[in-house]
Amino acid sequence: MTDGALIRASFDRSEIFGQLFDRHAVVVHRYLTSRVGVEAADDLVSEVFVAAFRCRKSYDTRFTNALPWLFGIAANVVRHHRRSEGRRSALVQRLDQQPVGPPGGDADDLAAEIIGRADFDDVRRAIEQLDERCRDVLILYAAFDLSYQQIAEALDLRVGTVRSRLSRGRAQLRELLAESGQYVIDDEHPSQMEGRTR
């Protein structure tokens, strides 16, 4: 059963919606952790699915994958959390729980790497200093491998807006990380940003 079919079935049998939690809670939790830290994510993941359940009838059940929709709800939950707590989120933590070596190599994607690293103070500061709208797009693109279209669905944006925010986010990272003197970005390959030690 696709996500869309599952949500449609939950209109009459609400308990079926629990299967959506089983399918996507881990990934949604990872996203929340990247925004607000582990402790807050543990609390907020349930809020995401409660909100999703309440508004499930607004979901276009022709879409077979509900994850972009859930990311959009999660982004709104994070914004509400920040307003209610009156503070910035915790620094972005390692997303894939795997060790990352020093930047370098043709296959490196600097955007994905810097989002995933938690051991460099300058990287954590750079992530937190990004414009929040650009940061949302960059994290979903680089750390969760969503397409432009999926990000647009998640954040209720036009694809062109996603592209422009991603471009601005990369530019901001370029400027912030250049200040640290540790990273440079290959301008000849903007879609595959390479990190390398100066």
Q: Tell me the C-alpha distance between 39 and 58, whole Å.
A: 30
Could you tell me the sign of the dihedral formed by the alpha carbons of 23, 91, 182, 163, in that order?
positive
* Predicted confidence band of residue 196 (pLDDT cuts 50, 70, 90): very low
- Domains contained in the chain, CATH given: 3-85 (1.10.1740.10), 110-196 (1.10.10.10)
| pLDDT one-digit tens code per residue, 129-186 | 888 888 888 888 877 878 899 899 888 889 999 999 988 888 888 887 777 665 544 4
Check residue 176 and give its pLDDT. 79
Helix axes 38-54, 67-85, angle to 10 degrees: 120
pLDDT given at position 139? 82
Instruction: Say which residues have a Cβ less than 8 Å from residue 67's Cβ, sequence separation at least 6.
Output: 3, 24, 27, 28, 150
What average pLDDT does this structure show over 92-100? 33
Residue 30: predicted pLDDT: 94
**What is the total residue count of the chain?**
198
Nearest-angstrom CA–CA distance, 171 and 81: 27
| pLDDT in the model for residue 19 | 96
Tokens of 176: 């912030």
Instruction: Give pLDDT, residue 121.
Output: 55
Q: How many whole angstroms separate alpha carbon 60 and alpha carbon 190?
A: 34
What percent of the chain has pLDDT above 90?
A: 38
Average pLDDT over residues 70-96: 65
Which residues on neighbouring strands pair with residue 185, listed in sequence order?
A: 195
- Per-residue pLDDT tens digits for 19-49: 999 999 999 999 999 888 888 898 899 999 9
Model pTM score: 0.58
Per-residue confidence band for 80, with pLDDT thresholds at 50, 70 and 90: confident
What would the mean pLDDT of 90-116 be, rounded to a whole number? 40
